[in-house]
């Protein structure tokens, strides 16, 4: 019952995932897996904290060496979750957050069927567009590719367990909703395979 959950949080660029994940991490029972990427660091990145940055060649070596639990190419760059990171965090018994896009989310669901998939969304497309342009850290070309990627990702929404809307100025509410979902999900039968055995033995 107290085992940590594996939580995948996806959502289009500009959905406020970073802010919501930071709020979740204020709770000690949550940890986030730091991904590896071949993209260039942005002004708001902190190497080793937001990502581990590697070259494209180094990333390809990691794929070849089977070091990644999942990976995807997104807007021209590779992103992936190191198996080592996921295993270490899961051993700690904490709720482990993977903040990843849809292709990776589906790979995680195939490997860890008990994973909880949450889609974090801005209230509407217009808000997404405005947030992304207002960020000031992406080029126009990159923004347009990210908007296209967002439309493509929406096709995979049915694979997700929950949709959480991140309303303007209400990231704390979105984080609270995610905490509620995680709490309820722990009572789900998918996490209680030993229930009957324990019921008779205790
Ligand atoms: P950004 O370049 O804005 O940091 O991230 C672009 C997209 O890559 C976001 O949707 C983000 O969630 C996703 N992403 C970040 N890390 C990973 C990862 O390890 N694996 C996958 N599949 N996607 C990731």
Q: 57-113, pLDDT tens digit by residue?
A: 999 999 999 999 999 999 899 999 999 999 999 999 999 999 999 999 999 999 999
For ligand 1, mutation pick of 15, 54, 74 (most atoms within 8 Å of CB) = 74
2-11, 54-63, 115-124, 164-173: the lowest-pLDDT one: 2-11
Is 149 in a helix, a strand, or coil? helix
Q: Ligand 1: which atom is nearest the Cα of residue 146?
A: 6
Question: What residue's CA is closest to ligand 1, atom 21?
Answer: 100
* Confidence check: pLDDT of 131 > 90: no
Q: What share of the chain is helix, strand, coil (3-state, %, to 5)?
A: 45, 20, 35
Residues 6+ apart with CB under 8 A from 54: 36, 37, 38, 62
Q: Is the CB of 72 under 6 A from ligand 1?
A: yes
Q: In the chain, what's the furthest Cα-to-Cα distance?
A: 62
Separation of 99 CA from ligand 1 center, angstroms? 7
The predicted structure's pLDDT at residue 2: 57
Separation of 101 CA from ligand 1 center, angstroms? 5
DSSP conformation class of 70: E
The predicted structure's pLDDT at residue 134: 83
Residues 6+ apart with CB under 8 A from 196: none
The predicted structure's pLDDT at residue 62: 98
Separation of 3 CA from ligand 1 center, angstroms? 26
The predicted structure's pLDDT at residue 146: 87
What mean pLDDT do residues 128-142 have?
Answer: 83
The predicted structure's pLDDT at residue 1: 46
- How far apart are the C-alpha atoms of 55 and 78, rounded to whole Å? 9
Question: What residue's CA is closest to ligand 1, atom 14?
Answer: 100
Q: What is the pLDDT of residues 23-40, one digit of tens each?
A: 999 999 999 999 999 999
* The pTM of the whole model exceeds 0.85: yes
Q: Which of 2-6, 23-27, 166-170 has the highest mean pLDDT?
A: 23-27
Question: What residue's CA is closest to ligand 1, atom 3?
Answer: 13
CB 173 within 8 A of CB 181: no
- State the average pLDDT for the chain: 93
Q: Is the CB of 153 under 6 A from ligand 1?
A: no
Separation of 80 CA from ligand 1 center, angstroms? 8
Residue-range domains of the chain with CATH = 6-192 (3.40.50.300)
């Amino acid at each position: 019952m107290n085992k940590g959950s594996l939580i995948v949080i996806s959502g289009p660029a500009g959905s406020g995932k970073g802010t919501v994940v930071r709020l979740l991490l204020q709770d000690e029972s949550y940890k986030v897996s730091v991904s590896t990427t071949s993209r260039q660091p942005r002004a708001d990145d902190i190497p080793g904290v937001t990502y581990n940055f590697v070259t494209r060649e180094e990333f390809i070596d990691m794929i070849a060496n089977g070091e990644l639990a999942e990976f995807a190419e997104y807007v021209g760059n590779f992103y992936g979750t190191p198996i080592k990171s996921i295993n270490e965090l899961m051993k700690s018994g904490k709720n482990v957050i993977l903040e990843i896009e849809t292709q990776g989310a589906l790979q995680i669901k195939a490997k860890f069927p008990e994973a909880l998939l949450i889609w974090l969304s801005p209230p509407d497309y217009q808000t997404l567009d405005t947030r992304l342009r207002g960020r000031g850290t992406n080029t126009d070309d990159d923004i347009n590719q990210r908007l296209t990627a967002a439309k493509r990702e929406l096709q995979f929404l049915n694979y997700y367990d929950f949709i959480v809307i991140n309303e303007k100025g209400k990231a704390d509410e979105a984080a609270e909703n995610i905490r509620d979902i995680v709490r309820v999900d722990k009572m789900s039968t998918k996490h209680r395979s030993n229930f009957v055995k324990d019921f008779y033995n205790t």
